[in-house]
Amino acid sequence: MQGTCWQRSGWGRSSRLAALSLMGISCASLTGATRGGPGGGDRSGSGPGAGGGDGRGAAPTLLSETALGPLTIRKWRLHNGLEVILLPDPAATSVAYMTWFRVGSRDERAEAQETGLAHLFEHLMFTQTVSARSPGEFDRKMEEAGASTNAMTYYDFTAYVDELPPQALPVAVTLEADRMSNLALTDQQVLTEREVVAEERLGAVEDSVDGMLDELMYGRAFRRHPYRYPVIGRMADIKAVTRAKATAFYRKFYAPNNAVVVVTGRFDAAAALAQIARAYGPIPASATLGQAGPEIAPERAPTDEIREEIERPVPADRLLIGFPAPALGSPDRAAFEVLDEILTGGPSARLHRRLVVETALASSVDASPAATRDPGLYSVWVQLRKGHHAAEAEKIIDAELATLTAREVSPADLSKAKNRMETAFWRGLSSSEGKANQLGEFEVVAGDYRKLLGRAEEIAAVSAAEVLRVARDYLGGRTRVVMVARPKTKGRAEDKDKDQGDGDGDGAEKPAGKARS
């Protein structure tokens, strides 16, 4: 545990990576000349790295070119719509190869009991393909080449991560292209992965106080937007996934014109682009992607005050408050990130100072805005100390918010936040995997990888007046979900299903404690 060091939560990627991924800097040397307009203007791919045809003879089209310090990021598009972002770095020791699909839990049909399908399908992508028929072939070949693989699913995306020694890049290109169009599922694989994901859910939600609070909070905050459903899915839905459902999902969403390949690290850009064009070029674009259904309307949530308590084996109250938060690509996002930093971004941040140091009510406080395509939630976590209660912490949080919404922050506070964010920005970009992760996230969630770099300038330009404005807009009203896990005060809760070990995993559907709104 080494609990003596300062940490901003280590419990979740959304809090860690989202925070890191939003770090901007004031350093003018970061961003250099950027070619290509918003969204990338189509131009011929005859520039550096334009390597060869794509299997149908068409050259990749260069969409944009952007400097990251001494490095250059280029974005290309193949004829079938696959987008490719390349960031070679001769100082790296490895290659990060990520494939981002613009599909996440937001695309599931909850009314058809399909929550969790995007995530479970992500597991199934590691099984076998038509051309590599033996089970586990993908992992075996990748690992023989020295590569490590993983994947993640969120509301707005599914991403596959390969970390490679440089010489293994051709292996990754071949295998990733193969599974984009040739996956071959069996009933047994679906059954096994259902069990694995059920185990994942038990540990991450049913037996995790944070996981449960988080799931309940989103379920209460959103009334119609799919963010109300858990990414991992309801337990009953997980166990109802079939090969037919998974295959239909694959056919619908896994296509080159719904994907972005991001490659960073030690590789030759021209050779890599040529390999990618050859491997992915023959894959046809999906003609039905745009027919997936009506566009999901953003929902700003919550719109009122909602409170709920549950009992769990915790040493003292665990408090989670969800406020409205701007989307990752929102014009308000930079100022909101600065606001978050001022509130919780270090040992001297306002909430930490008040709750942990001065009043000694809490052992930790942490917060982060979700990195979502549509407006999400700003989650503030507080662990109370024994003998103290969530209401005491909430009172202090309210007092700090009242101050933040009453007057502008000082120049010193503003400068401190920006300096911390600059450090975190460089930390987040120090590895090949970090670069690929952030470029991909901004491309898929915020709509353009260049917003990652532009965010630097935005943050540098954030004024105290803007911080005041977003504080009032997002945190000023009493629109919040307040979740509290209290220590169990009596005998164990009855659990009729305990012999089966099944959590109901209801998330948004059933109350799990006392609720009022």
Partner 1 sequence: MTPRTRRPSTLTLLITMSTIPTVAQAQTAGGGSAPAAERGPGPAGSLLIVEPVPALPLVSFVIAARTGAAADPRGKEGLAAFAAELARRGAAGRPREQIEDALDGLGATLEVDVDPDSTRLWGQVLVRNLDPFLDLVASMVLRPDFKVEELERTRKEIVAQIEEARNDDRSLCARFFERRLYGAHPYGHPPEGTAASLGSIRREDVLAQHRKVFVGGNLVFAAAGGITTADLRQRLETRFARLATGPVPSAAPLPEPAKHDGWRIQLVDKPDRQQTQIMFGHPALPASHPDRLPLQLAIASFGGRAMNATLMDEVRTRRGLAYGAYMNLATRRGPGALRGWVFTARKSTVTTLKLVLRLFKKLGKEGITPDRLRFVQGYVIGGYAADMDDPQSRLAARVTAEINGLPPDEVDSFPERVRAVTPAAVATAIQRHLDPQHLAITLVATASDLIPLLVKSKIQEGAIDVVPWDKD
Q: Within 57-76, which residues bind partner 1 (CB under 8 A)?
A: 69-70
227 is a site residue for partner 1 (CB under 8 A): yes
Among 501, 510, 511, 514, binds partner 1 (CB under 8 A): 501
Please identify, using beta-carbon distances, which residue of 70 and 284 lies nearer to partner 1. 70
Number of residues that bind partner 1 (CB under 8 A): 124
Tell me which residues in 387-406 interact with partner 1 (CB under 8 A). none
Q: Reduced to 3 states, what is the DSSP secondary structure of residue 458?
A: helix
Contact 423, 351 (CB under 8 A): no
Residues 147-186, one symbol each (x = binds partner 1 by CB under 8 A, - = not), give xxxxxxxxx-------xxxxxx------------------
Q: Reduced to 3 states, what is the DSSP secondary structure of residue 60?
A: coil
Distance CA 109, CA 243 (A): 16
463 is a site residue for partner 1 (CB under 8 A): no
12 is a site residue for partner 1 (CB under 8 A): yes
Distance CA 33, CA 49 (A): 18
Please identify, using beta-carbon distances, which residue of 348 and 403 lies nearer to partner 1. 348
2 is a site residue for partner 1 (CB under 8 A): yes
Distance CA 302, CA 361 (A): 27
Among 28, 112, 130, 196, binds partner 1 (CB under 8 A): 196
Window contacting partner 1 (CB under 8 A); options: 244-252, 282-290, 295-303, 362-370? 362-370
| β-pairing verdict for 376-384 and 318-325 | antiparallel
Please identify, using beta-carbon distances, which residue of 59 and 185 lies nearer to partner 1. 185
Contacts of 226 (CB under 8 A, 6+ apart): 105, 106, 107, 108, 110, 155, 296
Least Cβ distance, residue 27 to partner 1 (angstroms): 7
Residues 76-115, one symbol each (x = binds partner 1 by CB under 8 A, - = not), give ---------------xxxxxx-------------------
4 is a site residue for partner 1 (CB under 8 A): yes
**Helix (H), strand (E) at residue 150:** strand 148-153
242 is a site residue for partner 1 (CB under 8 A): no
Neighbouring C-beta atoms of residue 386, cutoff 10 Å: 9
Distance CA 381, CA 387 (A): 18
Please identify, using beta-carbon distances, which residue of 212 and 283 lies nearer to partner 1. 212
> What secondary structure does DSSP assign to 284-351, as a single string?
PPPSSGGGS-SPPPP-----SEEEEEEEES-SS-EEEEEEEE--TT-TTHHHHHHHHHHHHSSTTSHH
Q: What is the torsional sign of CA 37, 40, 44, 50?
A: positive
337 is a site residue for partner 1 (CB under 8 A): no
What would the two tokens of residue 327 be?
């989307």
Least Cβ distance, residue 52 to partner 1 (angstroms): 24
325 is a site residue for partner 1 (CB under 8 A): no
213 is a site residue for partner 1 (CB under 8 A): no
275 is a site residue for partner 1 (CB under 8 A): no
Q: 3-state SS string over 469-501?
A: HHHHHHHCCCCEEEEEEEECCCCCCCCCCHHHC
Least Cβ distance, residue 296 to partner 1 (angstroms): 16
Contact 449, 439 (CB under 8 A): yes
Window contacting partner 1 (CB under 8 A); options: 12-20, 284-292, 325-333, 468-476? 12-20
Please identify, using beta-carbon distances, which residue of 3 and 290 lies nearer to partner 1. 3
